[in-house]
Amino acid sequence: MKKYNQDRSPFVQVPGGEVICAQARAAIARRCRHGLFLVALLLAPLTGLHAVENAGVPSLDEMAGDWLPMEAVANPPDVHNFNQMLIVGRDLTSFYCNPGGLFTHTKDPAIQWNTGYPLVKIAFGGTEFPAVETRWYAYRALRRNPDCNGIAVETDTRMINEQRGALCRITATNTTAKVLKTTVTLHVPGVLQADGVGVVNRTQRANFVSVARPALKPDSVTTDTNGVCWNWVIELPPGGKVTLGYVAGDEKASLAAQTEARVADWSAHFDAMMDDCKSVWEQRWADTFTPGNKHFSGNLPVLKTANAALARNYYMGALTMLILERTQFPVSPRSFITSGDRGDGIQYYWDASMQATAWALLEPAGMKATLRRWLVQNARSGAHTSVSQTHSYDTNHYDMITGYAFNACTIFKAADEYLRVTGDRAFLDEKLEDGKTVLARMDDFATDWETLPKGPHGLVNYGKNGNLLECAPAYINCVPSLNAQDVWMMRRAAQWHAIHGETARAKELEAKAAAFLPAVLSLYKSGMGVWNAYHMDGTLVELRHCVDFIYIANALDNDLTPAQKSEMNAFVKRELFMRDWMRAMSRQDASADHSTRPDHSPTGAYDGWVPLTVGAMWRLDDPKAAFDFYRRTAIVTKEGPFAQAREFYGPNKREFDASVRVALRGGCMKECISGAAFADVVINTFFGFSPSADGSTLVCDPQTPRPFEGTLTGVRYGGKLRQLIATSHGVQVSKNP
């Protein structure tokens, strides 16, 4: 169990020594005993794993969540295998796995997931028992019940790497002082195979077949109208234990024979497959932080710091990103989807843009390939693209926003971040699928506002609730956040034109931005730290939401007065920050009682809002408060990685010290790529790694005293690795050690 500091942040020891390597050697040795892997696989993982050991990156086991009461968990633990995901049930052995799309789009927690595989349930002496506690790991999900009629049961559910298959190991221990004899039964919906053991199900999903087999042959097999029962009669002395398990796989019905053979092989080598699930994940984790690794086209920096909460959030942000890596799609074999629950290959521009710095460092080749798809998309329609599609885009002209209003600025931001972080300025001249250059399309996005409908004072109408925050009724029409982003995009596009030698266009865009800026600044509510929006009927409406704080601070930080910055920061600290998390919307917002979805309302916050708010507060000259709040939020990782949203719950859910958990209601997903922003903000804000467009500076505010000490090693720019050293005197850049 992790320890917690006085500020409620989990204490995570930065490891060294032999922990990971010892685990890897043991796992490989077990696999070799089964005759599954040869010397090539014995040697390759150790190199990467040893590199991470020496760097001091925490092991995956150290990154695990805590044991939590299942009744307090709204969104149970899940497992990913770089192709799909599963979510465990509230019993001890079942799980939800539906390759191609787990989320049902009902937003009803009772039926939010497609069942996919048949739900396998376990009974002891004819009685089923629930999971009392659960624990998340990157490579497995644990469940346990300490008293199943005197037997303590713990189950371990894993997914086979890049395969349509899952494993569940069951360990039953006699906790009494007497010999216990009972029958353990696994009930599997389906039809018995010809061998009298395996179970095939052709009715769970239309046109799909699933196959399940036990890891240990049952003492008896029985059938009923609902399926097949595998039965084992066990007799355990005091403290004695038995280990059982099962394997399940699925595929299209036409591939039934191959699926049966694959599942049979997995069950025959059950222990080795369980070990492999972990060692594959360990190798991927090692590759993430190893320059010149054989998987990614880049690497993430290694953070070394004595500040445990800072380390915990940084590495959990990186791990959230890794969880959502997918290797089966044609746009790039190393893609990052928005959430595993959604349909295959879905990327929401808005969410993905929040990990842009980490993305450009870890996987620049994949990011570039993805940006080539993003930059030809219609900013006014849709909300996402799919990395399963390598061609096509919407060529229709829309007189208004029909999709997400943040498309233009988030696609632009991702492209801008790639260009600055990688220094790949040749990308500006590359031709896209529509025949335009990257720079031309960035110009299009930066000036898209010019032909959108206008409201009072020429401000841009960005649409209705469904185009913006979806659950904030008053957040519509001429909102300040996006009008501010128009100013920022024109200024940034001007920089790229100037670097490209197009000074006339650069000056034109700068002039447009300067002319538009006063209308945006006029929306500020003096003395309150909040902003107004104009509705199209001319009504001026006060908004008290973090999205304006974030996107205005990032766009106009140099245009705001010291008083405005102080007032904006005070608003966030006064009305949004809680002890361990934040509200997305103030309870004083006029829409507060009409907004209940966890991601954008007063009941919680979208996980990405937290690091973005922290980064914005830092830019508005309050780094200490920003950093202190960032550290406090580390306690939420006791539940695992960063999600779509966390909510306040329990009898004190409106109080400062409210309990926090990953939300399920409102259609919230188990993980979201925006959680990688917890790593992004460390790199580009706390350490200030934000290269200028011309590459003349790497750190944006090197003289700002840091409220922590630490180093980032392996920071790549221009083909060279650098180290950033943060102290109370600022940030220094040196050669990588």
What count of other Cβ atoms lies within 10 Å of the Cβ of residue 730?
Answer: 15
pLDDT of residue 51 exceeding 70, the answer is no
For residue 51, tell me if it sits in a domain.
Answer: no
The CATH number given to whatever domain includes residue 317 is 1.50.10.10
pLDDT interval class at 105 (50, 70, 90):
confident
What is the dihedral angle through the alpha carbons of 415, 359, 87, 263, rounded to the nearest 10 degrees?
Answer: 110
pLDDT of residue 26 exceeding 80, the answer is no
Q: In this structure, are residues 506 and 497 in contact, taking their beta carbons and an 8 Å threshold? A: yes
pLDDT at 108: 82
pLDDT of residue 3 exceeding 80, the answer is no
Across residues 380-408, what is the average pLDDT? Answer: 96
Residues 6+ apart with CB under 8 A from 685: 614, 615, 618, 619
Across residues 237-241, what is the average pLDDT? Answer: 97
For residue 37, tell me if it sits in a domain.
Answer: no
336: alpha, beta or left? (left if phi > 0; alpha if psi -120 to 50): beta
Q: In this structure, are residues 80 and 161 in contact, taking their beta carbons and an 8 Å threshold? A: no
Q: Which of 60, 643, 49 is nearest to 320 (CA)?
A: 643
Across residues 712-720, what is the average pLDDT? Answer: 96
Q: Which domain holds residue 554?
A: 289-328+343-727
User: Dmax of the chain from CA atoms?
Assistant: 88
pLDDT at 109: 81
Across residues 222-228, what is the average pLDDT? Answer: 94
370 and 265 fall within a common domain = no
Question: How far apart are alpha carbons 194 and 187 in whole angstroms?
Answer: 18
pLDDT interval class at 299 (50, 70, 90):
very high
154 and 181 fall within a common domain = yes
Question: How far apart are alpha carbons 434 and 727 in whole angstroms?
Answer: 47
What is the dihedral angle through the alpha carbons of 339, 341, 343, 348, rounded to the nearest 10 degrees?
Answer: -20
Q: In this structure, are residues 619 and 685 in contact, taking their beta carbons and an 8 Å threshold? A: yes
Across residues 295-303, what is the average pLDDT? Answer: 98
pLDDT at 450: 98
pLDDT of residue 564 exceeding 80, the answer is yes
pLDDT at 334: 97
Across residues 677-703, what is the average pLDDT? Answer: 97
Percent of the chain as helix, strand, coil, to the nearest 5? 35, 25, 40
What count of other Cβ atoms lies within 10 Å of the Cβ of residue 628?
Answer: 16
Q: In this structure, are residues 478 and 535 in contact, taking their beta carbons and an 8 Å threshold? A: yes
Rg value, the chain, Cα? 26
Handedness of CA 623, 629, 632, 638 (dihedral sign): negative
pLDDT of residue 94 exceeding 80, the answer is yes
Question: How far apart are alpha carbons 129 and 171 in whole angstroms?
Answer: 14
Q: At what angle do helices 480-499 and 546-556 cross, to 10 degrees?
A: 30
pLDDT at 736: 92
Cα separation of the two ends of the chain:
34
Q: How far is CA 249 from the centre of its chain?
A: 26
Which residue has 């966390």 as its token pair? 646
pLDDT at 36: 35
- CA distances (Å), 47 to each of 51, 169, 282, 399, 613, in order? 6, 29, 12, 56, 38
What type of residue sits at position 261?
Answer: A
Q: Provide the mean pLDDT of the chain.
A: 92
The CATH number given to whatever domain includes residue 86 is 2.70.98
For residue 640, tell me if it sits in a domain.
Answer: yes
pLDDT at 29: 39
pLDDT of residue 684 exceeding 90, the answer is yes
pLDDT of residue 721 exceeding 60, the answer is yes
360 and 250 fall within a common domain = no
pLDDT of residue 421 exceeding 80, the answer is yes
Q: What is the pLDDT of residues 502-541, one digit of tens each?
A: 999 999 999 999 999 999 999 999 999 999 999 999 999 9
Strands 180-188 and 121-124, bridge-based pairing: antiparallel
pLDDT of residue 31 exceeding 80, the answer is no
Q: Which of 304, 290, 432, 283 is nearest to 361 (CA)?
A: 290
255 and 356 fall within a common domain = no
Question: How far apart are alpha carbons 394 and 15 in whole angstroms?
Answer: 50
pLDDT of residue 5 exceeding 50, the answer is no
Q: Which of 168, 173, 103, 116 is nearest to 140 (CA)?
A: 168
Q: Is 1 exposed, middle or buried (0-12, 13-18, 19+ CB in 10 A)?
A: exposed
Higher pLDDT, 26 or 578: 578
pLDDT interval class at 55 (50, 70, 90):
low
Q: What is the pLDDT of residues 617-655, one digit of tens each?
A: 999 999 999 999 999 999 999 999 999 999 999 999 999
Across residues 83-97, what is the average pLDDT? Answer: 97
Instruction: Give the per-residue SS3 of 413-446.
Output: HHHHHHHHHHCCHHHHHCECCCCCEHHHHHHHHH
Q: In this structure, are residues 167 and 249 in contact, taking their beta carbons and an 8 Å threshold? A: no
Share of the chain above pLDDT 70, in %: 93
Which residue has 């898209």 as its token pair? 448
For residue 239, tell me if it sits in a domain.
Answer: yes
pLDDT of residue 7 exceeding 60, the answer is no
**Listed range (271-275, 471-475, 519-523, 655-659) with the worst mean pLDDT:** 471-475
Across residues 399-428, what is the average pLDDT? Answer: 98
Share of the chain above pLDDT 90, in %: 89
For residue 42, tell me if it sits in a domain.
Answer: no
Q: Which of 676, 701, 714, 500 is nearest to 620 (CA)?
A: 701
Q: How far is CA 136 from the centre of its chain?
A: 14
- CA distances (Å), 122 to each of 243, 490, 650, in order? 13, 61, 31
Helix (H, G, I), strand (E, B) or coil at 174: strand
Q: In this structure, are residues 631 and 577 in contact, taking their beta carbons and an 8 Å threshold? A: no
141 and 264 fall within a common domain = yes
Could you please report the per-residue DSSP string of 301-341? PEEEES-HHHHHHHHHHHHHHHHTEE-S-SS-SSEE-S-TT
For residue 66, tell me if it sits in a domain.
Answer: no
Per the structure, the count of domains in the chain is: 2
Helix (H, G, I), strand (E, B) or coil at 696: coil
What count of other Cβ atoms lies within 10 Å of the Cβ of residue 592?
Answer: 17
Question: How far apart are alpha carbons 502 and 508 in whole angstroms?
Answer: 10
For residue 21, tell me if it sits in a domain.
Answer: no
229 and 364 fall within a common domain = no
212 and 323 fall within a common domain = no
Question: How far apart are alpha carbons 676 and 320 in whole angstroms?
Answer: 6
pLDDT of residue 14 exceeding 80, the answer is no
303 and 220 fall within a common domain = no
pLDDT at 11: 34
Q: In this structure, are residues 283 and 207 in contact, taking their beta carbons and an 8 Å threshold? A: no
Question: How far apart are alpha carbons 63 and 1 in whole angstroms?
Answer: 11
Question: How far apart are alpha carbons 185 and 183 in whole angstroms?
Answer: 6
257 and 350 fall within a common domain = no
677 and 704 fall within a common domain = yes
| Residues paired with residue 721 on neighbouring β-strands, in sequence order | 716
308 and 251 fall within a common domain = no
Pair of tokens at residue 222: 């029985």
Helices (H), 522-561: 546-556
Q: In this structure, are residues 719 and 422 in contact, taking their beta carbons and an 8 Å threshold? A: no
Pair of tokens at residue 688: 């200030």
Could you please report the per-residue DSSP string of 235-255? EE-TT-EEEEEEEEEEEEGGG
Q: Return the DSSP state at 13.
A: P
Task: Count how many Cα atoms sit within 13 Å of the Cα of residue 519 in the half-sphere of its side chain.
Answer: 22
**Listed range (20-29, 65-74, 334-343, 444-453) with the worst mean pLDDT:** 20-29
- CA distances (Å), 647 to each of 67, 73, 511, 640, in order? 19, 11, 44, 15
pLDDT at 38: 28
Question: How far apart are alpha carbons 675 and 678 in whole angstroms?
Answer: 6
For residue 62, tell me if it sits in a domain.
Answer: no
Question: How far apart are alpha carbons 455 and 395 in whole angstroms?
Answer: 26
Strands (E), 353-423: 384-386
Question: How far apart are alpha carbons 236 and 34 in whole angstroms?
Answer: 28
pLDDT at 27: 38
Question: How far apart are alpha carbons 605 and 646 in whole angstroms?
Answer: 6
CA triplet 27, 28, 31: central angle to 5 degrees? 90
Q: What is the pLDDT of residues 578-615, one digit of tens each?
A: 999 999 999 999 999 999 999 999 999 999 999 999 99
418 and 539 fall within a common domain = yes
Which residue has 């010397």 as its token pair? 39
